[in-house]
C-alpha cells in the first residue's frame, strides 16, 4: 500500500476530504479523469475573465463553520446573486419580490401584492396534482405563466402538467424590495476563480489528471488502504442494477469584442420559445474587472441548454423520482458491502448539493473516517 487514501475525483468533496486527510498526516493520492482539477466548479481564465466552465457557481451559506473553512483557502468578493428574468423582452426581478410584483401588476405596497397573489391562488382547489397546480397554488397564474412555466418545461423537457408537484415544494416570495436571490448570511465568489480555491485545498497533495479510475481499476484499487469515490455510483458497479437518470446541461460559449453584453451575471429566459434557459455573462461575477481593478474590454457569455442525459454526457441533476430513488437505494446497499470504499459527493450519493453542503458533508465524512482510521 503506497497511500492511505486514493481519492477519485478532484471536485469540492474530494479536494476537501484530501485536505483534511493530509492535515491529519495521511498520505493521499488524488486522481481525476478530466485534464483539470476542480470538477464542475472549475474556472478557466479567458481574456482575464474567470469563466465558469460547467455552469455558474455562486457560493452562499448560513453555515459559519463552512464559511470560515473556505476563507482559509480563498478570499471571497462581495458578489450578490440578483438574476433577471426575460419573458419575451419583459424584464422581471428574481426572486419574486416587490419589484417583480410592481412590474407584473403595478402594485406598490406589500399588502396590495399579497392580496393579488391570494386572489390568484384560489384557482386551485384541493391538493395540487402536478407542478403546474402546485406553482399556481403558491404564487398564482400570472407569475406561473410568465416566470415559471416555460423555464421549468425547458429544464425538465416535459410539460408542467406532467411533472410531479413535489418538484416545487415552495417558491420564495418576498414582500420587500430585495433582489438578493440566496438571502444567505455569507456569499460571494472566490477571487481568482474556483480553480485557485481548489489548488489551495490540494496544495502538497499528489494529483494525477487524465486518469480514469474505472478503466484503470486494476492498477489503482490496491495502491491505497481506502478509496474515496466521487464518481457516479451506478458506473462504479458497471450499471449492473440499471442506470440512474439525470438531467444534463449543454453550454454554448462566446467571446465577444464588447465590454458589456447584458449588464448582469445571469439572465433567465422564461418563455418556452427561446431554446436556452439562461445566459451567463461571467465577468460580472467579479464586477467586470481584472485582479488589478481594471475594466475588462471583452466579455464571455454562455448560453445554457437543458437536455436529457445519456451515457457519455455530463450528469448534472439527479431525477429524484420514485424509480430512481429505489434504484439508488439498491446501489447504496451494494456500496455498504465494501469495507474499503467510501462514496461521496453529488454523483457518489446521487444527490444535488449546493457547494456549502458538499463541503460540510466532506468535512463530516473526513472527521468520522479519520477517527475510525486511527482507532
Query: Given 170, 273, 322, 374, which residue is catalytic?
Result: 170
| pLDDT digit string, tens, across residues 121-169 | 999 999 999 999 999 999 999 999 999 999 999 999 999 999 989 888 8
- Please indicate whether residue 247 is annotated as part of the active site: yes
| CA pair distance 77, 61, nearest whole angstrom | 14
Q: Which residues of the chain have pLDDT under 70?
A: 374-375
Share of the chain above pLDDT 90, in %: 93
Q: Which of 247, 316, 328, 346 is catalytic?
A: 247
User: Do β-strands 28-32 and 3-8 pair in parallel, antiparallel, or remain unpaired?
Assistant: parallel
CA separation, residue 197 to residues 48, 74, 212 (Å)? 17, 5, 23
Q: Annotated catalytic, 217?
A: no
Instruction: Give residue 372's pLDDT.
Output: 85
Q: Pick the catalytic residue: 278, 286, 346, 369? A: 278
- Residue 352 falls in the annotated catalytic set: yes
Annotated active-site residue 278? The verdict is: yes
- Tell me the β-bridge partners of 280: 266, 302
- Calpha distance 21→363 (Å, rounded): 10
In sequence order, the 6+-apart residues with CB closer than 8 A to the CB of 181 are 80, 81, 82, 83, 94, 95
pLDDT at position 312 = 84
Q: Based on the residue annotation, tell me whether 272 is a catalytic residue of this protein.
A: no
Q: Is 170 one of the catalytic residues?
A: yes
Position 375 scores a pLDDT of: 60
- The reported pLDDT for the residue numbered 14 is 98
Q: Choose, from 153, 304, 356, 369, the residue flagged as catalytic.
A: 304
The tens digit of pLDDT for each residue in 312-339 reads 889 999 987 889 999 999 999 999 999 9
3-state secondary structure 223-288: CEEEEEECCCHHHHCCCCCCCCCEEEEEEEEEEECCCCCCCCCEEEECCCCCCCCEEEEHHHHHCC
Given 159, 212, 221, 352, the catalytic residue:
352
Does residue 174 have an active-site annotation? yes
Amino acid at each position: 500500500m503506497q497511500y492511505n487514501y486514493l481519492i477519485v475525483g478532484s471536485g469540492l468533496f474530494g479536494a476537501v476530504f484530501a485536505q483534511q486527510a493530509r492535515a491529519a498526516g495521511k498520505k493521499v493520492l488524488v486522481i481525476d479523469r478530466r485534464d483539470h482539477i476542480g470538477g464542475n466548479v472549475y474556472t478557466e481564465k479567458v481574456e482575464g475573465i474567470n469563466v465558469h466552465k460547467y455552469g455558474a457557481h455562486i457560493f452562499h451559506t448560513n453555515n459559519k463553520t463552512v464559511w470560515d473553512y473556505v476563507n482559509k483557502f480563498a478570499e471571497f468578493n462581495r458578489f450578490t446573486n440578483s438574476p433577471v428574468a426575460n419573458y419575451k423582452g419583459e424584464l422581471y426581478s428574481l426572486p419574486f419580490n416587490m419589484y417583480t410584483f410592481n412590474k407584473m401588476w403595478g402594485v406598490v405596497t406589500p399588502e396590495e401584492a399579497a392580496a393579488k397573489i391570494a386572489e390568484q391562488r384560489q384557482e386551485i382547489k384541493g391538493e395540487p396534482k402536478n407542478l403546474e397546480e402546485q406553482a399556481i397554488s403558491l404564487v398564482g397564474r400570472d407569475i406561473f405563466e410568465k416566470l415559471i412555466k416555460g423555464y421549468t418545461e425547458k429544464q425538465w423537457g416535459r410539460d408542467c402538467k406532467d411533472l410531479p408537484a413535489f418538484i416545487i415544494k415552495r417558491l420564495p416570495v418576498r414582500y420587500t424590495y430585495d433582489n438578493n436571490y440566496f438571502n444567505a448570511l455569507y456569499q460571494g465568489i472566490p477571487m481568482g476563480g474556483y480553480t485557485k480555491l481548489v489548488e489551495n485545498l490540494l496544495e502538497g497533495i499528489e494529483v494525477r489528471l487524465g486518469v480514469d479510475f474505472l478503466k484503470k481499476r486494476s492498477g489503482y484499487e490496491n495502491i491505497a488502504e481506502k478509496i474515496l469515490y466521487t464518481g457516479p455510483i451506478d458506473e462504479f458497479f458497471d450499471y449492473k442494477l440499471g442506470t440512474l437518470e439525470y438531467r444534463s446541461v449543454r453550454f454554448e460559449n462566446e467571446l465577444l469584442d464588447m465590454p458589456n453584453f447584458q449588464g448582469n451575471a445571469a439572465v433567465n429566459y422564461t418563455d418556452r420559445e427561446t431554446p436556452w434557459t439562461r445566459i451567463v455573462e461571467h465577468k460580472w461575477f467579479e464586477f467586470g474587472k481584472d485582479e488589478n481593478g481594471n475594466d475588462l474590454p471583452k466579455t464571455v457569455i454562455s448560453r445554457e441548454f437543458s437536455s436529457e442525459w445519456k451515457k457519455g454526457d455530463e450528469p448534472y441533476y439527479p431525477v429524484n423520482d420514485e424509480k430512481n430513488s429505489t434504484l439508488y437505494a439498491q446501489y447504496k446497499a451494494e456500496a455498504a458491502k465494501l469495507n474499503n470504499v467510501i462514496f461521496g459527493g453529488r454523483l457518489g450519493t446521487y444527490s444535488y448539493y449546493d457547494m456549502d453542503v458538499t463541503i460540510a458533508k466532506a468535512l463530516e465524512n473526513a472527521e468520522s473516517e479519520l477517527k475510525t482510521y486511527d482507532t
